[in-house]
């Protein structure tokens, strides 16, 4: 999933940058290039309504991939797309075999209660960001990480030095390894 304001071409360029042969990409595009209208920590009802629509889009894409015969399905997003996917992983019972979250945390002002989080037993989740990202504060990334671990996900998290809202070369390299492992049928424990 793309970030706020990013054109569909962003994901095409990211797929080329990741350079993992043999993957099929499904890249839904948000209406108006935004999955929800306000910053992800905003408590607005407009965000909640738009987020529900975004979660349906992702769920439909995952279901469509499974119905098309794909054995393994992973989700990947940057910024607003990663926030949407973090929220999906924590609150929806959608079966995925892995997730790559480039700079994201679950959506909303309120903390998610651990009892409201779905189980993600042994699902590998790669979470990458920089320590001074201007849009996604570390405290939300930390609370998202704690909830994913509590849900049973195998979390690989790295925060690099920096203040630009970008996907670093290290993050791309790490995601490449994870996606290649999933492509090759690596187990969910790996």
pLDDT digits (tens, 9 = 90+) for 101-111: 999 999 999 99
Distance, first Cα to last Cα, the chain: 24
- Name residues whose C-beta falls within 8 Å of residue 131's C-beta, 6 or more positions apart in sequence: 138, 159, 160, 161, 162, 163
C-alpha angle with apex 14: 164 to 108, nearest 5 degrees? 55
Q: Of 30, 23, 37, 38, which Cα lies nearest the Cα of 8?
A: 30
Both tokens of 22, joined, read 């043999």
Q: How far apart are CA 124 and CA 151, in angstroms?
A: 12
Both tokens of 78, joined, read 């940057």
In this prediction the pTM is 0.95
Q: How far apart are CA 111 and CA 105, in angstroms?
A: 11
Quick one: pLDDT at residue 187? 56
pLDDT value at 61 more than 70: yes
**What is the overall mean pLDDT for the chain?**
95
Question: What tens digit of pLDDT does each residue of 170-189 get?
Answer: 999 999 999 999 999 875 54
Question: What tens digit of pLDDT does each residue of 75-113 get?
Answer: 999 999 999 999 999 999 999 999 999 999 999 999 998
pLDDT value at 190 more than 70: no
> Do 101 and 77 contact (CB within 8 A), yes or no?
yes
Backbone angles phi, psi at 154, to 5 degrees: -90, 95
Both tokens of 53, joined, read 């629509």
Q: Of 63, 132, 57, which Cα lies nearest the Cα of 87?
A: 57
- Side-chain half-sphere exposure of 166, counting CA atoms within 13 A: 8
């Amino acid at each position: 999933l793309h970030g706020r304001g990013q054109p569909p071409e962003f994901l095409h360029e990211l797929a080329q940058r990741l350079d993992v042969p043999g993957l099929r990409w499904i890249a839904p595009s948000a209406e108006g290039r935004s999955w929800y209208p306000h910053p992800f920590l905003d408590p607005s009802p407009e965000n909640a309504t738009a987020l529900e629509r975004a979660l349906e889009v992702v769920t439909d894409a995952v279901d469509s991939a499974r119905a098309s015969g794909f054995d393994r399905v992973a989700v990947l997003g940057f910024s607003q797309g990663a926030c949407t996917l973090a929220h999906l992983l924590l609150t929806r019972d959608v079966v995925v075999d892995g997730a790559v979250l480039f700079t994201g945390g679950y959506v909303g002002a309120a903390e998610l209660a651990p009892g409201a989080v779905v189980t993600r037993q042994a699902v590998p989740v790669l979470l990458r960001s920089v320590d001074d990202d201007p849009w996604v504060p570390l405290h939300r990334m930390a609370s998202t990480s704690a909830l994913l671990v509590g849900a049973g996900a195998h979390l690989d998290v790295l925060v690099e030095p920096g203040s630009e809202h970008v996907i670093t070369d290290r993050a791309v390299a790490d995601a490449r390894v994870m996606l290649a492992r999933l492509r090759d049928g690596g187990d969910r424990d790996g």
